[in-house]
Amino acid sequence: MSQPVLEVDHLRKTYGDFVAVDDLTFRVQSGEIFGLLGPNGAGKTTTIRMIMDIFIPDAGTVSVLGATPRQARLRVGYLPEERGLYRDLKVKETLVYLAQLKGMDKDAATRSAEAWLDRVGLADWADKRVKDLSRGMQQKAQFASAVMHEPDLLILDEPFQGLDPVNVELVKTLMRELQAEGRTIVLSAHQMNLVEEMCDRILLINRGEGVLYGELAAIKRDYAPNAVRISGEEDVLTQLTRLEGVVDAEQNRDVLILRLGQTSPQAILAQIVELGLPIRSFEVESIPLNDIFVNVVSGVHPDGSEEGAEA
Amino acid sequence: MNNILTIARHEYMVNIRRPGFIFTTLLIPALGTLALLIGSFFAGQAGAFFSNVFESESKPVGVVDHAGLFTPILPEYADEYLLYTDEDQARQAVTDDEILRLIVIPATYPAANEVEFVTTETGIAAIDIEDSGSLDRFFIAHLLRNEADPTLSERVLDPYAAQVVNPEGETEGMTGVLNIILGFVVPYVLSIFLIITIFTTSGYLLRSVAEEKSNRVIEVLLSSVSPQDLLAGKVIGLGALGLTQILVWIVAGFGLSGGVVSLLGVMIPLFARPWVFVLAVLYYLLGFILFAVLMGSVGALGSDMQESQQLGGVFTFIAAVPLMFAGLIFPNPNGLIARIFSWFPLTAPTTMMLRLPLSDVPVLDIIISIAGLLITIPFAIWLGGKLFRLGLLMYGKRPTVREIWRQLRAS
């Protein structure tokens, strides 16, 4: 990966005595989909607003596309979390206006608005008033408004909120298409399964601080429990619970999960092969991102022990 | 700059379609039309009423002269006054409504000044007799007819005719009611109209900001343009909207009054003192910019439309204070109160627009008020941009004064 598209260094923002973002540092690489995660009130939106030059940081620097947020403003697309459009205006008219403010001339803005309304399936609604659109349709129109000026960096704050499964698929497809075009996406979302599906790397913010940062696969590896999942005949599985190095076993009919102590999954597999027991499948147990999120935020370590608030 | 124009055009196009704008813009000409219609409808009846009144007035007044001073009645009064020799016959004439009233002059006159008025009229009409200048002239003319030389008696009857001049000896234009209407009422009404458009259009600005805040479009806007550009674009767009409104009113005024009357009414006083017109436009523009910026900024501070409007009401109130003191400014347009209001930037535009048509305003006041506005406006735009940024993104609660102050110092 080349030069980072977004560089955030030691960013800090306070509201009175409340520290919203504290010493936050991260990079977003060109062409990736980067997950910006965190519980409500963690400081995600404040961070995004500083990236978008809506808020001025108390300390630290933000570099967007190698420039200041203000200079880069027109090359960034932004879909805010709490969003709306002019209710009394027509859909296309609104999109054209917003695109013009992003530096497009009126003709180009009109062409782009028509193309994007078509792409999100709202072509028939172009001349309807925004208030006549359903919530899902408004969401899609707003998505179009964020991307229609062809930004190099796209910041999507909760783009899946309020969408039905069909439209979630549509937005996912559009995101992948945009990524394929070489655009970089920062995705903030609460649907961890979608983040797992879409993101290359993530940053998890809690209480204004970055608590998890890096390759999603590596993080999942780090947080993976030392456990294996085996399926097979019930009576065979029962015998496996007595294997050497197993500290805990959980059997549910033909599926067995073995938690391991000072041994590796490979050693367990070797023991099974040695014993010549027939099994249907064997896999190293992984942890859903959702569980990592919940554990980190509530201060529970992967091994299950409680940690202090500083986690 | 491009952004400012895009925003200005957008605000203009969106707001000119608002039913509220169309309503107020058409309301004034509609009221004018209504007044004309009512006027022409009642004109016939009113005419009849007035002619009745004047007909009754034109009935002669009877005179019974026991003193002999009024016999015969002078030729110039013969139409209005009818001499009776028989008092009973004269009294009967009053009862029969042949004469308006009867004046019985006793033999003791003029040693005693009591005379008897016989009339069927009551109330105001009866009191009016006392004040009647024409009756005074009737008495004076007959008392003096054999006593003084004709010139002196003429002067006693009509002592002076005033010629109003200024200290330089120049005649003060036209005198009389027409001059008062053209020179003062019309510019005053025009000033009021300008003030109204300042309030309505800066009210639109407040609405537009509060709306963008409540529908969250503001976040997208501020990710594209600076708050200062956004505010400036709105001020220009809505300013153009206000001018459109005035233009519609003026054109409608021409149409309604057949052009000529408006031309006389509006243009003569303006062309008679063109600098008053120029200054009025200048104060209008400066006043509009200042209030629009202030309204836009406080519009961003309220947590909903209603709260924003309450906050904006504070500025409307301050600007309207000179109108409340109009009773003091009117008789003394260069008095201390008027001058103090002129020096304070928030009340200067309204006060100066009221004062300009009324008198020659001291140059010092014009300089101080314009300078004050020119200094205040950039400050208001700067402050407005800050408050904008602060207020727009604080949802659900209104920032406290302490927070605002901290934020202003911080950024």
Q: Mind listing the pLDDT tens digit for each residue in A192-221?
A: 889 988 999 999 999 888 888 999 888 888
Q: Where are the strands (E) in A94-157, listed by range? A: 153-157
* Residues B79 and B149 reside in one and the same domain: yes
What gap in Å lies between CA B287 and CA B348, rounded to an integer? 8
Q: Is the pLDDT of residue B123 over 80?
A: no
Q: Is the pLDDT of residue B292 over 90?
A: no
Check whether B109 has a pLDDT greater than 50.
yes
Shared-domain flag, residues A50 and A121: yes
Clarify whether residues A80 and A190 are in a common domain.
yes
Residue A308 pLDDT > 50, yes or no? no
Cα separations in angstroms, B374 against A109, B191, B354, B378? 38, 20, 20, 7
Nearest to B199 by CA among B31, B302, B350: B350
pLDDT at A213: 92
Please give the pLDDT value at position A26.
94
pLDDT over 60 at B31, yes or no: yes
In B, minimum Cα distance to A50 occurs at B223
Would you call B163 an interface residue with chain A, using a CB distance cutoff of 8 Å? Answer: no
- The Cα-based distances of B11 to B8, B132, B203, B296 in angstroms read 5, 63, 13, 13
Same domain, A130 and A244: no
- Both tokens assigned to B36: 């004309």
What does the pLDDT average to over B230-247? 85
Contact B219 A54 (CB under 8 A): yes
A151 and A170 together in one domain: yes
- Helix/strand/coil for A10: strand
Residue B336 is assigned to a structural domain of this protein: yes
- pLDDT band at B174; cut points 50, 70, 90: very low
Percentage of chain B beyond pLDDT 90 is: 4
Does some domain include residue B41? no
Q: Which two tokens stand for residue A62?
A: 């933000």
Q: Is residue B106 part of a domain?
A: yes
- In CATH, what number is assigned to the domain containing residue B80? 3.40.190
Both A61 and A193 in one domain: the answer is: yes
- What is the percent of chain B where pLDDT is above 70? 73
Q: Which residues in chain B have their CB less than 8 angstroms from residue A89's CB? A: 14
Instruction: Report yes or no on B347 lying in a domain.
Output: yes
- Looking at the fold, whether B251 and B392 belong to one and the same domain comes out as yes
Note the pLDDT of residue A311: 32
Q: Is any Cβ of chain A less than 8 angstroms from the Cβ of B305?
A: no
> Do residues B227 and B341 share a domain?
yes
Domain boundary among A197, A221, A245: A221
- My answer on whether B83 and B215 are in the same domain is no
Based on the domain organization, do B62 and B207 belong to the same domain?
A: no
CB atoms B393 and A53 under 8 Å: no
At residue A91, the pLDDT reads: 92
Residue B40 pLDDT level (bands cut at 50, 70, 90) = low
Contact A84 B216 (CB under 8 A): yes
In this prediction, residue B283 has a pLDDT band, given cuts at 50, 70 and 90, of confident
Same domain, B285 and B143: no
Would you say residue B62 lies in a domain?
yes
Question: Does any CB of chain A come closer than 8 Å to the CB of residue B220?
Answer: yes
Q: Is the residue at A294 inside a domain?
A: no
- Domain with A216, as residue range(s), is 6-221
Task: Pick the more confident residue, B132 or B115.
Answer: B115
Percent of chain A at pLDDT exceeding 90: 40
Last residue of a domain, one of A221, A250, A268: A221
- Residue B287 and residue B320 in one domain: yes
Facing residues of A50 across strands? none
pLDDT at A282 over 80: yes
Q: Is the minimum CB–CB distance between A201 and chain B shorter than 8 Å?
A: no
Work out the pLDDT band at B279, boundaries 50, 70, 90: confident
Residue B349 within a domain:
yes
- The label of the residue with tokens 């299950």 reads A304
Number of C-beta neighbours around residue B113 at 10 A: 8
Q: What is the pLDDT of residue B187?
A: 58
Count of the separate structural domains present in chain B = 2
Q: Give residue B179's pLDDT.
A: 57
- In total, the C-beta contacts within 8 angstroms joining chain A to chain B are 65
The overall average pLDDT reported for chain B is: 76
pLDDT for the residue numbered B48: 53
Domain of residue B137 covers 58-157
Residue A57 lies in a domain: yes
Same domain, B22 and B67: no
Q: Is residue A277 part of a domain?
A: yes
- The total of structural domains in chain A comes to 2
* Residue A309's pLDDT band (cuts 50, 70, 90): very low
B163 domain-assigned: no
Judged against a pLDDT cut of 80, whether residue A30 lies above it is answered with: yes
Claim to verify: residue A127 and residue A261 sit in the same structural domain: no
Taking phi over 0 as left and psi of -120 to 50 as alpha, with beta for the rest, A189 belongs to beta
Interface contact A80-B216, CB threshold 8 A: yes
Where residue A143 sits, what CATH number does that domain have? 3.40.50.300
Task: Give yes or no for B155 touching A (CB within 8 A).
Answer: no
Among the ranges A74-88, A187-201, B316-330, which has the highest mean pLDDT value? A187-201
pLDDT in tens, B366-398: 999 999 999 998 888 888 777 777 775 565 455
Does residue A108 lie in a domain region?
Answer: yes
pLDDT value, residue A310: 37
**Is B317 within the bounds of a domain?**
yes
Phi, psi (degrees; rounded to nearest 5) at B31:
-60, -40
Residue A19 forms part of a structural domain: yes
> Is B400's Cβ below 8 Å from some Cβ in A?
no
Q: CB distance from B226 to chain A under 8 Å?
A: yes
Q: What is the mean pLDDT of chain A?
A: 87
pLDDT band at A111 (very low <50, low <70, confident <90, very high): very high
Q: How confident is the model at residue A144 (pLDDT cuts 50, 70, 90)?
A: very high
Q: A123 and A50: one domain?
A: yes
CB A276 within 8 A of CB A244: no
How confident is the model at residue A75, as a pLDDT? 92
**Given a cut of 70, is residue A300 above it in pLDDT?**
no
Match 């001025």 to its residue by tokens: A56
Residues A200 and A239 in one domain: no
Q: Is the pLDDT of residue A179 over 90?
A: yes
Q: Would you say residue A291 lies in a domain?
A: no
Is the pLDDT score of A3 beyond 50?
Answer: yes
What tokens were used for B125? Answer: 């009409």
Nearest-CA residue of chain B relative to A72?
A: B224
Over range B142-153, report the average pLDDT: 78
* Claim to verify: residue B151 and residue B223 sit in the same structural domain: no
Confidence of residue B213 (pLDDT cuts 50, 70, 90): confident
* CATH code of the domain in which A243 resides: 3.30.70.980
Collapse the DSSP code of B167 into the 3-class scheme (helix H, G, I; strand E, B; otherwise coil) and give the result. Answer: coil
Residues B300 and B384 in one domain: yes
Ranges B55-69, B216-230, B231-245, B388-402: which has the least confidence: B388-402
φ and ψ at residue B169, rounded to 5 degrees: 85, 5
Smallest Cβ–Cβ distance between B224 and the set A16, A89, A102 belongs to: A102
Query: Does the interface predicted TM-score (ipTM) exceed 0.90?
Result: no
Considering the domain architecture, whether residues A197 and A157 belong to the same structural domain is answered as: yes
B355 and B273 in one domain?
A: yes
Domain end point (choices A221, A238, A262): A221
Rounded Cα distance, A270 and A254, in Å: 20
A265 and A152 belong to one structural domain: no
If asked whether residues A68 and A192 sit together in one domain, one would say yes
- Beta carbons within 10 angstroms of residue A132's beta carbon: 12
Sign of CA dihedral B208, B213, B216, B217: positive
pLDDT at A225 over 70: yes
For chain B, state the CA radius of gyration: 32
Structural domain contains residue A120: yes
Chain B CB contacts of A86 below 8 Å: 14, 211-212, 215, 217
| Alpha-helix residue ranges (DSSP H) falling in B273-362 | 274-301, 305-324, 326-329, 336-343, 348-355
Inform me whether the C-beta atom of residue B45 falls under 8 Å from chain A C-beta atoms: no
Task: Flag if B216 and A74 touch (Cβ within 8 Å).
Answer: no
Q: Is residue A59 part of a domain?
A: yes
User: Do residue A149 and residue A102 come from a single domain?
Assistant: yes
Higher pLDDT, B343 or B69: B343
